[in-house]
């Protein structure tokens, strides 16, 4: 359960008085997510999500994330909206953390996505990429090559405790990516964490996207590679080409990938697998025992990384034209 910071009712009621959000009826911590503390509130005005921003979220980046949700919503993307306080601010403070109240999005995330859902996700990702056009703020990706090096430096010394030989393998992978990372692909604002738990469905219909707290400016095709990693592998570690084909078809139907983006997919997928491996490894080694969060397995992403290493071309992901 991702609740790192506790709140008490007295402080919460005082916090709510700064908004036009009704009277508090009940609240509870949400047993999902790993980055921030989230609470579901019921007030006389309806349901709301309260988010307290934790370790990986820089306060200076919050205007980018909250502004992006407003921008996307105004362009027809169904995503939560931060509520303004009486003084107009979107951000407040609770229990010593930056905090925001955001609208509750109906739907639930899929534990077992099928190819048809992957197609919807591909479409929604491309629509989001197009809708981000014109968003005025910029945020460089703190978790790209430089960030990976810094993160790895914090874990490398203990990596072999998790799996023997890891230190050498990841060191080699980073060196490869330093040389092979694409430079001239189309860029824009990317979600950067569009995993199944951040996409809501009502029945088979995609109902909205949440969790924009890794969003940043980077290569659009990198976001596609993140989705291939997050949506198209089975529990046994195998890549499901039917899901990959559906996701890529869905994306291409809205924003066709260029030949250069297609050619770069295997390297981008290696990079995105490494990125999630590294954050998971760091959390694995540093999250204190007994913390109210379910730690995610870094080895799942090592396996994905190894898969991408032997991919010769994007055709192996299900791209008919590659
Ligand atoms: N706007 C929202 N509407 C409905 N549920 C939400 C909303 N935001 C978050 N949640 C719930 O909280 C969980 C964790 O949210 P998330 O933003 O993914 O947290 P984290 O940033 O910690 O990963 C989600 O899986 C969902 O159940
Ligand atoms: N998706 C990341 C972890 C970030 O958590 P989220 O709950 O914000 O999606 C991973 O799986 O490593």
Per-residue pLDDT of 185-243, as tens digits, reads: 999 999 999 999 999 999 999 999 999 999 999 999 999 999 999 999 999 999 999 99
Q: How far is Cα 298 from Cα 123, in angstroms, rounded to an integer?
A: 28
Residue 4 lies in a domain: no
In angstroms, what is the span from residue 72 Cα to ligand 1's centroid? 17
**CA separation (Å) from 92 to 26, 27, 66, 87?**
20, 18, 12, 10
Atom number of ligand 2 nearest to Cα 211: 8
Instruction: Determine which helix (DSSP H) or strand (DSSP E) holds 53, and give its type and residue range.
Output: none
The pLDDT of residue 312 is 95
125 and 73 housed in the same domain: no
Around ligand 1, the residues with Cβ closer than 6 Å are: 2, 30, 32-36, 38, 49, 80, 102, 104-105, 197-198, 210-211, 213
Read off the pTM. 0.94
155 and 225 housed in the same domain: yes
In angstroms, what is the span from residue 195 Cα to ligand 2's centroid? 7
CATH of the domain at 80: 3.30.200.20
Report helix angle 259-286 to 166-180, nearest 10: 150
Tokens representing 120? 């919807």
Domain that holds residue 22: 9-103
* CA-wise closest residue to 320 among 238, 240, 225, 248: 248
pLDDT surpassing 60 at residue 1: no
Which residue owns the Cα nearest ligand 2 atom 5? 34
Give me the number of domains the chain comprises: 2
Per-residue pLDDT of 57-107, as tens digits, reads: 999 999 999 999 999 999 999 999 999 999 999 999 999 999 999 999 999
155 and 214 housed in the same domain: yes
Q: Are 219 and 292 in contact (CB under 8 A)?
A: no
- Computed on alpha carbons and rounded to an integer, the radius of gyration of the chain in Å comes to 20
Q: Are 149 and 177 in contact (CB under 8 A)?
A: no
For residue 316, count CB atoms less than 10 angstroms from its CB and return exposed for 0-12, middle for 13-18, buried for 19 or more. Answer: middle
153 and 28 housed in the same domain: no
Q: Give a three-class secondary structure readout of 74-107.
A: HCCCCCCCECCECCCCCCEEECCEEEEEEECCCC
Final residue of a structural domain among 61, 82, 103: 103
What share of residues in the chain are helix, strand, coil (percent, to 5)? 45, 15, 40
């Amino acid at each position: 359960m991702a609740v790192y910071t506790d709140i008490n009712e007295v402080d919460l009621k005082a916090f709510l008085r700064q908004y036009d959000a009704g009277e508090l009826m009940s609240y509870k911590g949400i047993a999902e997510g790993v980055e921030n503390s989230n609470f579901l509130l019921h007030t006389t005005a309806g349901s709301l999500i309260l988010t307290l921003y934790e370790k990986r979220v820089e306060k200076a980046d919050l205007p980018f994330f909250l502004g992006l949700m407003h921008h996307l919503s105004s362009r027809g993307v169904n995503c939560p909206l931060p509520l303004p306080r009486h003084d107009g601010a979107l951000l407040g403070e609770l229990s010593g953390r930056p905090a925001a109240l955001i609208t509750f999005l109906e739907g639930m995330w899929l534990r077992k996505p099928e190819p048809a859902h992957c197609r919807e996700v591909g479409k929604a990702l491309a629509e989001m990429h197009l809708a981000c056009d014109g968003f005025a703020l910029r945020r460089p990706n703190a978790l790209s090559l430089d960030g990976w090096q810094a993160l790895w430096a914090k874990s490398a010394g203990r990596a072999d405790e998790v799996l023997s030989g890891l230190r050498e393998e990841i060191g080699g992978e980073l060196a490869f990516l330093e040389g092979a990372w694409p430079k001239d692909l189309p860029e824009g604002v990317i979600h950067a964490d569009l995993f199944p738990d951040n996409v809501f469905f009502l029945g088979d219909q995609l109902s909205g996207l949440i969790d924009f707290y890794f969003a940043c400016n980077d290569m659009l095709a990198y976001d596609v590679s993140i989705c291939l990693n997050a949506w198209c592998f089975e529990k046994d570690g195998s890549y499901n080409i039917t899901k990959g084909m559906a996701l890529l078809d869905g994306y291409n139907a809205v924003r066709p990938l260029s030949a250069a983006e297609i050619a770069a997919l295997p390297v981008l997928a290696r990079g995105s697998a490494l990125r999630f491996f590294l954050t998971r490894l760091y959390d694995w080694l540093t999250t204190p025992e007994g913390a109210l969060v379910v730690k995610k397995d870094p080895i799942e992403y090592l396996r994905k990384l190894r898969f991408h290493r032997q991919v010769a071309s994007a055709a192996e992901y299900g791209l008919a034209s590659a």
